[in-house]
Structure 1
Amino acid sequence: MKLKTLIAALSIGTLFSCSVSSQSLSKADKLPKPIQLFNGKDIKDWTPKIRLHEVGENYANTFRVEDGLLKVRYDGYDNFNQQYGHLAFKKPYSYYLLRVEYRFVDQQSKGGEGWAWRNSGAMLHGQDPKTMLKDQDFPISIEGQLLGGDGKNERTNSNLCTPGTNVVVNDKLFTPHCLSSKSKTYHGDEWVTAEFLVLGDSIIQHILDGQVVLEYNKPQIGGGNVSNFDPAQKTDGKALTEGYIYLQSESHPIDFRKVELYDLSPYKTDQNKLKSTIDKLLSRK
């Protein structure tokens, strides 16, 4: 599938051009069933990787399941000390729609940086957690930021950050670390639904309240903003066609009540079917 053709077909103007209720779908138009990455019971399908600790060590029970929620907590930390944490799902994906429901709660951990207040993320196209080194701070990945407001000031949500990666924005290689979206601010402890449409190495869209707030393409390994990694894992210029999905721990407590994924890989060779399926998934309430 040609990149320009795909981007044109999935542009913001056409992606939301139709509204279809789930009740009106015929049997021939069955949608893919969501894969519940978080089962509401445990994190056996996930691998923690926390800076300064070995792969698989869930230091201080940072990631835990309580009351049917996947929680990120720091009550076992004396000081956060840049112990950035990431929780990776057990298998990589390439073409998908990821839907995450989250809320920020409580107070930031002692020692957390100011920029990390009400800050978490969904890491897309991430490296295999088994390849991360003990002192590595972030997985080489594309980050869809999850951000909360302070009740007064504006702060866009679902921004982009690029640890060890670059993307193309408006046909130009984007090399700065972060790019703000055009979203509204989400204040308080309300539940927020963030969606990420990821189509291999062609196009990625960040979606809030049914609206695309950020769009880019050609994700690839490159640039900086990741430390203490294995050089063998960072081949600059290599296209990111698939990868692991991570949830982030950056010093502020956060709850996740849903982490689900619609696998779109069966449709990637049929542009019309792909677009139709995406339209219907995004129009569902």
Structure 2
Amino acid sequence: MLIQHSFRFWRKIMTHSTKTLVLAFVAAVMMGIPCTAQDVEPPFTWEGKGTGSFISEGGIEVLDFQFELSVDEQGMVKGQTRSENGDAIIKHVFSTEKKQYDWPGFFTRNIVIVFMLNEDGDTPMLSILNGRILLDKFLYGEVMLTTYEAGSDTAKALGIGDPEATLMEGDELPNSLKSALKKCFPFGTVKIVGDYKQEDTSAAAGSEAIALFNKKDLKDGYVYQKDSDADPKSVWKVQNGELRCSGNPVGFLRTRQEYSDYKLVLEWRWLEKPGNSGVLLHMSGEEKVWPLCMEAQLMHARAGDLIGMGCKFSENKAGKDSPISYTPRMNESNEKEPGGWNKYEIICKGDTMELTVNGQLQNKATGVNISKGYIGLQSEGVPIMFRNIELTPLR
């Protein structure tokens, strides 16, 4: 019965063209490299080459390919392979911790790497690499295939549906993942060799963090408020080096200089009951309560949401006719209890943005159609405090 099932499954796979199978294989074989990255701190880039043996309509074939892979400061993984048959990208990566190998002083890791093939087509499939990194020098393993069913236990166990591929490390692979692998079809073998280089992308050479406000007064900022008759100093005050906002009237405090390609770090806490506020990024155009900008949300329990006011980005979940773009945070809220200090780390580089709240990556936007502007803090109804507002230029 098992043989018959495997034969039917194999015939179904073979209905795809040789090129399609090769692309599936290329996608899978590339993915093992991130595991060696556990020994160095991101960001870094891997570059290398690999050789795989697999079964095609013409018999046993050998495929040579090149790959490049990057891991950013939050551990998010990107990469692709290139061969004469095309390119492929990462979908998800699982990794176990280093373990002692048979030879003294040498170590190995188990890895599982997952991709989706033909995601927008009629017959989407998952391509999986199940293997080991040996000696932190080369990877070897098997390539596996399975059909893809959205929302299935197998798809969930293999990480399909997550916003980004993430490198996960643990003592053992989850039982749900092991069970899912038993449902996959062995397809070929692979070996990859390569090397990594540390990337100095966190800050431009020689650059240091810049305090956006001087911790003494408001001279470094420009205040806009809906009620122009209100005294800005009654809304925004500096106390013991910390910036206090009363919340009324609504408006914002922004920098006097425009910025692009930077890492912004700041802390905030609610003084009384929690409410609403935001960090305004790439502000430009008319001065108004809600200007053209990208907003890193500060609304209580929604920190990590990303809103485009008058601008667009690829991950937009709002309707086509909506005046704003929007994508929610990736994970459950990890904010501190009201009164506790929270920390935002925001990376703006080119057309991408990443929002990290209290050390956890909560959002990422790509294809943002604005890349430069002022940086602002919202006054939006309730008292809030900010401190340690610093910007580091990126390369």
TM-score by length of 2: 0.45
Give the C-alpha shift of residue 211 in structure 1. Answer: 2.7
Q: Which stretch of structure 1 is more off in the superposition, 63-72 or 31-40?
A: 31-40
What is the CA–CA distance in structure 2 between the aligned matches of 1:143 and 1:10, rounded to whole Å? 25
Aligned partner letter, 2:313: V
Structure 1 runs (4+) greater than 6 angstroms displaced: 170-174
Work out whether 1:190 is the aligned partner of 2:314. no
Give the C-alpha shift of residue 195 in structure 1. Answer: 0.9
In 2 relative to 1, CA 244–212 (structure 1 residues): closer, same or farther, beyond 3 Å? Answer: same
The aligned runs of 1:10-89 (5 Å cut-off) are 13-14=76-77, 32-53=207-228, 58-59=231-232, 61-73=234-246, 80=248, 83-89=249-255
Aligned partner letter, 1:166: K
2:277 corresponds in structure 1 to 120
What is the CA–CA distance in structure 2 between the aligned matches of 1:85 and 1:205, rounded to whole Å? 24
What is the CA–CA distance in structure 2 between the aligned matches of 1:71 and 1:170, rounded to whole Å? 32
2:375 corresponds in structure 1 to 245
What is the CA–CA distance in structure 2 between the aligned matches of 1:137 and 1:172, rounded to whole Å? 21
The aligned runs of 1:175-214 (5 Å cut-off) are 176-183=324-331, 184-186=333-335, 187-200=337-350, 202-214=351-363
Q: What SS does structure 2 have at the residue aligned with 1:213?
A: strand
In 2 relative to 1, CA 141–100 (structure 1 residues): closer, same or farther, beyond 3 Å? Answer: same
What is the CA–CA distance in structure 1 between the aligned matches of 2:318 and 2:279, rounded to whole Å? 24
1:165 corresponds in structure 2 to 311
Render the CA deviation track for 1:225-253: whole Å, top value 9, x for unaligned.
xxxxxxxxxxxxxxx12010001100110
Q: Is the 8 A contact 1:124 1:143 kept in 2?
A: yes
Give the C-alpha shift of residue 58 in structure 1. Answer: 4.5
What is the CA–CA distance in structure 1 between the aligned matches of 2:270 and 2:381, rounded to whole Å? 11
Give the C-alpha shift of residue 53 in structure 1. Answer: 1.9
Q: Is the 8 A contact 2:334 2:358 kept in 1?
A: no
Counterpart among 298, 320, 326 of residue 146 in structure 1: 298
Give the C-alpha shift of residue 13 in structure 1. Answer: 2.7
Q: Is the 8 A contact 1:103 1:189 kept in 2?
A: yes
What is the CA–CA distance in structure 2 between the aligned matches of 1:126 and 1:170, rounded to whole Å? 19
Number of residues of Structure 1 aligned to a counterpart in Structure 2: 199
Aligned partner letter, 1:162: G
Q: What SS does structure 2 have at the residue aligned with 1:39?
A: coil
1:275 corresponds in structure 2 to none
Gaps of 5+ in 2: 1-68, 79-165, 168-199
1:92 corresponds in structure 2 to 258
Give the C-alpha shift of residue 217 in structure 1. Answer: 1.6
Larger radius of gyration: 2
TM-score by length of 1: 0.61
Counterpart among 103, 109, 112 of residue 269 in structure 2: 103
What is the CA–CA distance in structure 2 between the aligned matches of 1:45 and 1:168, rounded to whole Å? 34
Q: Is the 8 A contact 1:102 1:258 kept in 2?
A: no
What is the CA–CA distance in structure 1 between the aligned matches of 2:268 and 2:358, rounded to whole Å? 14
Q: Is the 8 A contact 1:89 1:244 kept in 2?
A: yes
Render the CA deviation track for 1:52-79: whole Å, top value 9, x for unaligned.
428xx744621111222110015xxxxx
What is the CA–CA distance in structure 2 between the aligned matches of 1:252 and 1:217, rounded to whole Å? 31
